[in-house]
Structure 1
Amino acid sequence: MATTVPDVPPGRLGAATHSRSPWPRLGYAGQDDGPGKPAVGPAFALLGTVQATLIFTITVISVPLPVIGREWGLGQSSLVLLSAAYGLSFSGLLLFGGRLTDRYGGRRMFTAGLVVVAAASMVAAIAPGSASLTAARFAQGVGAALVAPAAVAVLRRVFADPASYGRAMATWGGLSVLGATLGSLLSGIVVTWLSWRWMLAVPLVVAAVAALVTRRMLPADTQYERAALDLPGALLATSGITLLSFGLVVTGEHGWTSAMVLAPLASGLVLLGAFVAVELSSADPLLPMSFLADVRRVTALLVIALSAAGTAVVSLLLVLYLQQIRNWTPLRTSMAFLPYAVVLVVVGRVSGRLVARWGAQRVTSAGLALAAGGLLLLAGVDLHTEFGLGLLPGLILLPAGVALSFSAGSVLALSHVRPRQAGLAGGVLNTAMEVGPTAGLALLTALATARTTHLETGGAGLPDATTSGYAWAFGAAGFAFAALAAVTALTGRTRPHRSG
């Protein structure tokens, strides 16, 4: 029988080492580094840099998007599609990417995905128009969907010891939100003095360099199964998630009752229902339903989705507030997120030790509560809110909480996962990370718009009404975080389920 990754009680994660490093010096097979074996530190650095870059690439054009629209004379529909192209293919193909990893091996699929990302990024950087840039962004997402689950599978082999693996996953969980924040931070700086195209050179360089050094720095594929690909399940999951995500994305331009929204949402839900039916009857399903039978795992996936959604909502609405309501420049707006990024880095560095001392479930609940506090502070925003006293406290509490909930939530989501399902686990984890912001943005921006429209109808001025709409969205997100914190605390005593 394949071994499982057991829960590590508080205080056990750090017992494997007396080093000051945030992860133990263990070889990829759980033994000391030796001749010919990749070292743990460089392997983790490579995998972590790539993971952060994949999420960085999502937000890389968020701040320059208006500049791109003016340069090419794009309408709102074209901008929406350009903004969403990467995330649509990324989220839709992750489950299939996980199955390919489990079938063909983590390092092999990691390398293949990096090649796709590098090639697509090169095309994106020199794209002559919106159609070619949109297609390149979609291709970047395809490559990312191969890389992300493969990286998690390789990480599982690098840290074969349960204690070191749990410690590494606690650090890994904070990398994605850091990548998203750096995308928003750096894009405003670059677009001020350089062309937005330089931002697209980042995933190109990272993917190209990583592809060149992967064979030397990561362990070879020695154990993987020749399982069936479940193409019907893959087709249904990919099309269902993509259509559902597209329907949520276009709510920013079309009403929820319009055909442009209802048609893809309904079609996506039908296809996902068919996917569940196919998986239940399949002898070798793409996503075994037993994998989601663990209440703690499902709760952890919700934590990751909500944490990703919270950061996406704040990044979008705060950028709109500062630039459109307060008339801040893109550079000054980006600088506003600098404390946010610093807190993410600092808390991310200590999250592993906190998980080791207090346990993943407690740290997850505490992180959600901190994030809720930060969002509720931001809900007090108005036309005259000062940055230092009004916004900064929320921009410190929120990233601290999100870094903890991401880190500890990732540990919970991947506990008791068999090595042969490492690719599947990586696909599911990243799917939650990608779908969360799409759904969260759609729902909370709809709430903000409804509040704005209501106040405008009552005679309020547009800036006041819009700001109040943003405040309502922050408040709703804060209450959602607080509610999930309570749920997470209650599910902590549930007996873990071993995925089959």
Structure 2
Amino acid sequence: MTTPLAVSPAPTRPTAPAFALLGTVQIVLISGITVVSVALPAIQDELRLSGGDLALVSTAYGLAFSGLLLLGGRLADLYGRRQVFMLGLGLFGVSSAAAALAPGLALLLTARFAQGIGAALAAPSAMALLGVLFPDPHRRARATAVWGGLAGIGATGGMLLSGVFAEWASWRWAFGVPVIAAALAIVAAPRLLPADRPVRRARIDILGAALVTAGLSTLSYGLVESSYGPLIGGVVLLLTFMVVESRTAAPLVPPAFFAAPRRAVALAAIVLGSAGMATSLFFLSLHLQQVRGLSPLLTSAAFLPYGAVLIGTGAVAGRLLGRFGIRIVLTTGLIMAAAGLALVSRFDGALVAGLLVLPFGIGLTFAGATVAAVADVPDEQAGLAGGVVNTAMEIGPTLGLAVLVSLAAVQAGDTTSGYGFALGIAAVAFILIAPIAALLLRTPQ
């Protein structure tokens, strides 16, 4: 049985500062994925890590984040969104400080994993609070559209921070930003965010939570390490989770949640959008440093136009959705993202144009798909919806990197041609899903 939430009245609270607080936290949480990306060589040299160790440092955060998001969203619905939000931020901030001070691999991996746990509690709670701040459906849709673009800003911002600190100071300072952001948000949250409390407790689906967490984490690890054992194990665990949920009175994720075709295609677009963004940043970062010989700082600077376009697209996404609707915005975003990937895949003079077109398409894709994914979700499932959307955003980079890096490796020729081939395949995927989205989103939302 779901648990309704009693929410303290919010009309007298200023929504702009509260939204700014939640949005900043979301950007910081997503930046945690990429904040070590450009600095990985420096981390490897200082801590004397092997290639496998370095891969674990890079992915530990994402493994915990993606695996626990559904549970984090459900806990927010059951125990109060602001409370779970602040709890997650506290854990995120403390573990970020531990990562900055880590003397070796063991503590760094533990801290990165704990960061992911804290993020998995805070992210879905933050998204669920949008419904409390914006009870009017139209204002909520515009806020959600802006929210959809924050993931791209966070990922790009993490890379910029990584390069700046790797060049001018130490990679350890990159973890200082999350510490400061978490501390300030915890202080401001009680003043800016409405409190909510469950009117009636409901039990947590412990078995379902364990299965989905183990399944997503095992599957993600298998994808990252290209290991068939974890891949098969993850699939089996997720299939078992689906069976258990269909027979449980109070499931962690009601099967009906994914029954709507509109929501299914929206979540697929989010997975694809995050995969395209992550892999393009990954390949570009390697190309600029390994092939063109740019320093970490100049590599980060090359993504400034990318980030600026993402910010601009997010700022106008709400108005575009209000004027043209979800269907046009989402399909246009998918087509523009495909065009941007095609331009980037050439790695020639068209690269600059690609770095402008691609983030515009990704921004529109995230905005339209996020609004479509959470539309018509009951208030008592708002945290769950936030967990599902964030899980889709986290699965995308893991899946995309696993598939496209493998495609780049098997392609004959030099490194650049392999990268270009993989990004070209990604562009085709965007083109293929665009007509499906247009077909399933025909009815006005």
- Please tell me whether residue 480 in structure 1 is matched to residue 429 in structure 2: yes
- How far apart, CA to CA, are the structure 1 residues paired with 2:182 and 2:326? 32
Out of 365, 370, 383, the position equivalent to 1:423 is 383
- Please tell me whether residue 63 in structure 1 is matched to residue 33 in structure 2: no
2:121 aligns with 146
2:214 aligns with 239
Cα 1:206–1:30 change in 2 (3 A) is closer
Shift of 1:42: 0.7
Alpha-carbon deviations, 1:157-186, whole Å to 9, x = none?
A: 111111110010011111111010011122
Mapping 1:177-256, distance limit 5 Å? 177-223=152-198, 225-251=200-226
Alpha-carbon deviations, 1:455-481, whole Å to 9, x = none?
A: 3xxxxxxxxx21110010110111111
Q: After superposing the two structures, state which structure 1 stretch, 144-153 or 219-228, moved more.
A: 219-228
Shift of 1:494: 5.5
- Once the two structures are aligned, what percentage of the paired residues are identical? 50
SS of 2:196's equivalent in the other structure is: coil
Contact residue 30 and residue 158 of structure 1 kept, 8 A: yes
- How far apart, CA to CA, are the structure 2 residues paired with 1:225 and 1:488? 38
Query: Which structure is higher in helix share?
Result: 2
Cα 1:225–1:59 change in 2 (3 A) is farther
In structure 1, stretches of 5+ residues that fail to align are 3-26, 252-260, 456-464
Out of 150, 161, 170, the position equivalent to 2:136 is 161
- Please tell me whether residue 74 in structure 1 is matched to residue 49 in structure 2: yes
1:86 aligns with 61
Contact residue 30 and residue 161 of structure 1 kept, 8 A: no
- Please tell me whether residue 409 in structure 1 is matched to residue 369 in structure 2: yes
Shift of 1:28: 8.4
Read off the aligned partner of 1:485 and give its amino acid letter: A
SS of 2:293's equivalent in the other structure is: coil
- Please tell me whether residue 436 in structure 1 is matched to residue 422 in structure 2: no
Shift of 1:421: 0.2
TM-score, with normalisation over the residues of structure 2? 0.97
Read off the aligned partner of 2:422 and give its amino acid letter: A
Contact residue 81 and residue 125 of structure 2 kept, 8 A: yes
Mapping 1:35-434, distance limit 5 Å? 38-223=13-198, 225-251=200-226, 261-381=227-347, 385=348, 389-434=349-394
- How far apart, CA to CA, are the structure 2 residues paired with 1:495 and 1:330? 46
- How far apart, CA to CA, are the structure 1 residues paired with 2:200 and 2:232? 35
- How far apart, CA to CA, are the structure 1 residues paired with 2:433 and 2:380? 30
- How far apart, CA to CA, are the structure 2 residues paired with 1:361 and 1:195? 45
Cα 1:224–1:345 change in 2 (3 A) is farther
- How far apart, CA to CA, are the structure 2 residues paired with 1:445 and 1:28? 48
Read off the aligned partner of 2:183 and give its amino acid letter: A
SS of 2:103's equivalent in the other structure is: coil
Contact residue 104 and residue 225 of structure 1 kept, 8 A: no
Q: Which has the larger radius of gyration?
A: 1
2:420 aligns with 471
Alpha-carbon RMSD: 1.5
- How far apart, CA to CA, are the structure 2 residues paired with 1:419 and 1:272? 26
Shift of 1:390: 2.4
Shift of 1:379: 2.0
SS of 1:372's equivalent in the other structure is: helix
TM-score, with normalisation over the residues of structure 1? 0.86
SS of 2:350's equivalent in the other structure is: helix
- How far apart, CA to CA, are the structure 2 residues paired with 1:53 and 1:361? 29
In structure 2, stretches of 5+ residues that fail to align are none
Shift of 1:495: 8.4
Shift of 1:225: 4.8
SS of 2:102's equivalent in the other structure is: coil
- How far apart, CA to CA, are the structure 2 residues paired with 1:219 and 1:122? 28
Cα 1:225–1:427 change in 2 (3 A) is farther
Contact residue 10 and residue 194 of structure 2 kept, 8 A: no
Shift of 1:493: 2.3
SS of 1:287's equivalent in the other structure is: coil
- How far apart, CA to CA, are the structure 1 residues paired with 2:232 and 2:330? 33
Shift of 1:326: 1.4
Contact residue 245 and residue 439 of structure 1 kept, 8 A: yes
SS of 1:285's equivalent in the other structure is: coil
1:20 aligns with none
- Please tell me whether residue 493 in structure 1 is matched to residue 442 in structure 2: yes
Alpha-carbon deviations, 1:307-358, whole Å to 9, x = none?
A: 1111100111011111111111111111110110111111111111000000
Contact residue 105 and residue 224 of structure 1 kept, 8 A: no
Where in structure 1 do 4 or more consecutive aligned residues deviate above 6 Å?
none
Alpha-carbon deviations, 1:393-450, whole Å to 9, x = none?
A: 0000000000111111110000010000001000100000000110011001110001
Read off the aligned partner of 2:367 and give its amino acid letter: S
1:15 aligns with none
Cα 1:276–1:446 change in 2 (3 A) is same
